[in-house]
Each structure stands twice: as structure tokens, then as C-alpha cells.
Amino acid sequence: MADLQQRAQRIAAKRSSMWVYRLVRRTIMVVLYPYFRVRRRGGEHLDIEGPVIVAPVHRSNLDTPLLAGLSHRRLRALSKESLFQNRLFGAFLSALGAFPVRRGVADREAILQAIKMLEAGEELVVFPEGARQTGPRVEAVFDGMSYLASRTGAAIVPVGIAGTEEAMGAGTRLPRRTRVAMVAGPPIRPPEGRMTRPQMSRFSEMVRERLQAVFDEAQRLVD
């Protein structure tokens, strides 16, 4: 795992990787955005300086690629380790800003990399709900994003994404054409200093409420 992580970071740091990211982002906006008739709101909340944790709802594998068109900055994202086992595909994912994480365990190495990225002022996608969920409600979120925000001072930007579950939910191989909407809310700043566990829980609940609000707004845009 350490070798995969180091290789991913080396590739992501190359100047050529930014060209790959920009090309793929442009392709997504030219091909996928018209196909899904994407509506966007609040993209300016992602185009701020400094470390940002992008905290979207998660209903489909389409969520991460479509997010790229919402921000002008490169998005970094955790991706499951198995995707990096193929050397060429792993290099492509790394150029896009992804880096490996072991699912189902506390992957300290991936967490440390995430902290380093945020401390360097990057923009990192963290799904607060963890794995893909279903339905219109944000039932619960994990404290991982709150921990990262507390450690780095990163702002959290909640993003509601509606329509992707209908387009390509779990078990679907090919996307159906349906309208998609994405709404980003104002940045949520963590309190100064390290948060205690109870403070993290309260902060996470506040983020959950804000996330539900932008998710509701996104769902209204696709109705």
C-alpha cells in the first residue's frame, strides 16, 4: 500500500497531471453535462482560496466526475486501493488527483496524506455519508470530515447532488439520461483549535443539516 500511495502522490505532483485533469474536466463538461442537462448552483463557494473539504451527498459513481465541473480547482479524492493495482489505470487516476485508501479499516497513511493535502491548501472530496446511500434524506454522517477540518482549519462546502441515483444507481452499468442538479452551499468554517469528540459530533450534525438543505434544493431543481 505504501508503494501505491507514494506512486500516486508522485504522479499527482507532476505538471503534466494538471493537463490531464483539465482535459478530462473539459470532456466531462462537453459530453456529460449536456447529456444529463446538468444544472449548477453555488460553484463560487468552491472557488475560494485555501484548504477546502468538498462534502457531497453520495448516490452514484457519477458523483465524483460530475463534481469536477463545479469547481475550477483540481479536486483530490480518496479511491479504493484495488483501482490502483493496474499500473496504467492507477497512473491515470493519480493524474486526476485520486489517491488510494483501504476500505473497511482505519487507513492512517491515507488520512495523513489527506491532512498533508489540506495543509498545502488543496481541495479534497470527502463523502460525509461514507459509502453510497439511497433516497432523498441524509440520515447520518461520519466525523471524519470534522476531524480533518479540525486538524487543518479547512472549510467544509456541502454539495447536494440530485438525479445521479436515477441516472446510475448501485448495480447499474450504463447511465440513463435524466436531469442532474448540483448545489453547493456556503463554506462552513470549523471552530478555532482542536475539537473534542462531543464538539466534532455537534459540528458534524450541523454539516448534515446544511447538506440536507442543499440536497433538498438540488432535488427541487430536477423535479
144-152 vs 108-119: helix crossing angle, rounded to 10: 40
Q: Which pLDDT score, from 0 to 100, does residue 27 have?
A: 97
The set of residues, in sequence order, having a beta carbon less than 8 Å from that of 36 and lying 6+ positions away, is 62, 66, 163, 167, 175, 177, 178, 179, 180
pLDDT in tens, 141-152: 999 999 999 999
Q: What is the enclosing helix (H) or strand (E) of 141?
A: none
Q: Which pLDDT score, from 0 to 100, does residue 80 have?
A: 86
Report the number of distinct structural domains present in the chain: 1
Q: Which pLDDT score, from 0 to 100, does residue 1 have?
A: 58
Q: Which pLDDT score, from 0 to 100, does residue 43 have?
A: 95
Q: Which pLDDT score, from 0 to 100, does residue 131 have?
A: 85
Distances (CA, A) of 111 to 27, 56, 162: 30, 18, 28
Q: Which parts of the chain register pLDDT below 70?
A: 1-2, 104
| Domain of residue 218, CATH code | 3.40.1130.10
Structural domain range at position 117: 2-222
Q: Which pLDDT score, from 0 to 100, does residue 38 have?
A: 97
Assessment of whether the complete model's pTM goes beyond 0.75: yes
Q: At 84, which amino acid appears? A: F
Q: Which pLDDT score, from 0 to 100, does residue 156 have?
A: 98
Q: What is the C-alpha R_g of the chain?
A: 17
Any idea what the Cα angle at residue 59 is, between residues 53 and 60, rounded to 5°?
95
